[in-house]
Each structure stands twice: as C-alpha cells, then as structure tokens.
Amino acid sequence: MPELIPERKPTNRLLLGPGPSTTDPRILRALSEPTVGHLDPEFLRIMNETMAMLRYVFETENKLTMAMSGTGSAAQETPFLNLLEPGDKAIVCVHGYFGERMVDMAGRAGADVTVVEKPMGQAIDPEQVADAFKKANGKVKLLSIVHAETSTGVLQPLDDIVKITHDNGALIVVDTVTSLGGVSVGTDRNHYYFVYSGTQKALSCPPGLGPITVNEAAVKAIQERKTKVHSWYLDLSMIMRYWGQERFYHHTAPVNMVYALHEALRIIQEEGLEARFARHRLNRDALIAGLQAMGLKLVVDDGYRLPTLTTVYVPEGIADAAVRGALLNDYNIEIGGGLGALKGKIWRIGLMGYSSTKRNVLTLLTVLETILGGMGYKMPQGAGTAAATAVYTK
C-alpha cells in the first residue's frame, strides 16, 4: 500500500491575476450540493434556467446558448471544429497570445488561414480586415477575433470589423473569455454569429465549463456541413440535442459545475448587468490612477483598456518574478506575468467578478508600494492608494 497522502490544505489566495478569479463563496456552496443524475428532471430544470440566464449575460435571444463541458479552451476550439471544413478560408485576427491559438485551431480544422496581425498591446485596425477580405482568393467562411485579449488587456472595438465581415458574407466568431460578465458583450445588438467564453474570469466560477451562444445562421452552417466534425466530443450537432428539448444522451454532464454556473449567473442577475459593468469600470479606473501615481507605465492606450484586466510594465531595474513571488509568498496575492513577447516585461492584474472590489484595489496598491519600495524603486509614498481613493471619492 502506498504511503497515505496527507489531507489537502490549499492556501486561501487573493486571485488578482488573469484568471481564475476568486470564487464567490455562494458558488463554492453550490458546488457542494448533492449530485443528481444528468437526466434527472431536477437537473434538466437547472439546465433550462442556466440557458436562460446565459442568454441574459450574453445579451442574446439565441436558442443555442449553453455551456460546453470543458474549460474555456474547449469552448474556443468548438467554433473552428464545427464551422470549418477542410479547404474553407478563414481570417483570424491576432493581437495577442489567444489570437495565435485561434490560428492553430483553425489550421487543425483544415482551413486555409489568413492572419491579420497587430503587435501585442494594440488593437486590430478595421482597414487591415477590409484589406484581408479584398486579397482573399475566394469566399471567406469566417472571421474570428478576440474581444478581450487576456494576454495584453486590450478591449477590441468591433463595430467596423463586424460590418466588414457581414458585408463580405462571412460568419464572425468572437472570444469573450475575459469580458463576459464584466463588460457588455451585446451578442444580438452587435450581430455576432458565434460567441464563446469561460467560467473562471468575470463570472467568478471555477474553471470547467465553456459558455457559448450560436445564432441561427451559424447553426445552419453546422447542419449543412459536408463532412463530420473532427471531434466527437465537441460536435455541436449532437450536443445541441442534449441541451435542447430532445435531451439526446451525448455525455454525462458535470452536474455540480452546472450548479456552480447556475449560481454565478443568479448572482449576476441580482446585481444587474449595468451595475456590474459600472463596478468593473470604477475599480479599473481606481487601479489605473494608483499605478500611474506610482510612476508605473500602462501597456494599453487609453480607450482600449479592459475593465477586467489591466497590464502594466515592470519598472526598469525590478525583477518581474521577484515581485510576483513576494506578493504570492508573503501576502497570498496572485497577479500574472506576461506571455509570449511580453514575458518578463509586464504584470497582468485582474479585477474580475467577485475579485473586482475597492478593498482589493487598495490592498494591492498598498502591498505593491511596500514591495517595490523595499527593492529600491523610487516613488512618492502612499501616492498609489491616495490616487485610487480620490477616484472612489469622486
């Protein structure tokens, strides 16, 4: 018999990184509720309620609105596998790490991929998209783009890009992993075809489900495929029958994770979308004011900054990992480092869902001032918290 493994004792961290965010205690309680069968009438009712509340958060009337059994990455791969067939043309916009993932996924689906690219920290220019459509040798099936780029903190304007895509008869796929629940998505208002997200960011639910919403045109494209979807597990032509009225068995749903998402969505309903969006903007603004008062430089230009995630350059002469290590080991606070070309150069600070509070903003700024001051970084003492407090006072 192997040695008895000791009991788990996970540390209670303050999660202020790019995700996961701190889970609301109400959601943790929902996770612990008794498991029932995945076809139990009680669970089917919970599924229906979850779909209805997801429509509210996605801001849509789409019938096919549900949660994929898998993380946000499973939700990300779902549109490419279901909408693209070998030889289809796709335009993928890349302005960060997760756009690069889209390129890989579309290529694995057999698509002929054209990449529209901007440096990390910048937004895609609509003229780039228009030019890509003009140069495409044949009909483009879809365009995909990240609404909230987790690797950089850029909130991508989409109005002009959506119009260009529609004018060229292509489907548009939108990544809202770091915006859903913290920033208006406006699926129907903006005429998106396929939108996906994750549970662990602004929904403040543990990772494990991938919410999606699909409009009728995209559903029709899936139903008219000439070839089978290359993934059995992510094949929406079957999964939509389980989440729909037919309740056709496809897989055993993660029952308790659906409980958790159900409670996360109830919390959002109670707060109201507009109030929730305003809370995220206010806390973002206070954090930015504090960081700038400390002399730190932001990565993203004003007007493109996400309310849920802020990126800031590591000061010259300061070691990225040393600061994040001190935050984690001495104060139980997690923030994120950079990815790709920005690795070691930036910090990613998430204020998402349950983690987006005045208390967390002021706590982080206070601790950052202490750590940076101890490393020899020169700044006016207390300037960060004073500047943030001034934002709240206004």
Answer yes or no: is pLDDT of 247 > 90: no
Domains, the chain, ranges and CATH?
Answer: 25-269 (3.40.640.10), 273-393 (3.90.1150.10)
Instruction: Report the distance separating Cα 213 and Cα 195, nearest Å.
Output: 5
The pLDDT of 368-390, averaged and rounded, is 96
pLDDT band at 47 (very low <50, low <70, confident <90, very high): very high
Beta strands in the chain (DSSP E): 14-15, 64-69, 89-94, 112-117, 140-146, 148-149, 154-155, 171-175, 194-196, 209-214, 309-313, 333-334, 336-337, 346-350
pLDDT, position 85: 97
Q: What is the pLDDT of residues 27-38, one digit of tens each?
A: 999 999 999 999
Q: For the segment 265-311, what is each residue's pLDDT rounded down to a tens digit?
A: 999 999 999 999 999 999 999 999 999 999 999 999 999 999 999 99
| H or E element, residue 323 | helix 320-331
The model scores a pTM over 0.85: yes
Specify the pLDDT at position 356. 98
Residue 2 has pLDDT above 90, yes or no: no
Per-residue confidence (pLDDT) for residue 248, from 0 to 100: 84
The predicted pLDDT at position 391 comes to 98
**137-194 pLDDT, tens per residue?**
889 999 999 999 999 999 999 999 999 999 999 999 999 999 999 999 999 999 999 9
Going by pLDDT thresholds of 50, 70 and 90, the confidence category of residue 394 is: confident
Provide, rounded to the nearest whole percent, the portion of the chain with pLDDT above 70: 100
Question: From residue 329, how far is each of 7, 324, 345, 371 by CA, in Å?
Answer: 21, 9, 21, 12
Q: Tell me the percentage of the chain whose pLDDT exceeds 90.
A: 95
Average pLDDT, the chain: 96
pLDDT of residue 246: 82
Strand partners, 114: 91
Q: Measured over all CA atoms, what is the biggest interatomic distance in the chain, rounded to whole angstroms?
A: 67
Q: What is the pLDDT of residue 76?
A: 98
pLDDT reported for residue 127: 98
Look at residue 249 and tell me whether its pLDDT is greater than 90: no
Confidence label for 77 from pLDDT (cuts 50, 70 and 90): very high
Asked whether the beta carbons of 154 and 96 are under 8 A apart, the reply is yes
Mean pLDDT along residues 81-88: 97
Average pLDDT of the segment spanning 204-217? 98
Q: Is the pLDDT of residue 313 over 90?
A: yes
Q: Is the pLDDT of residue 1 over 80?
A: no
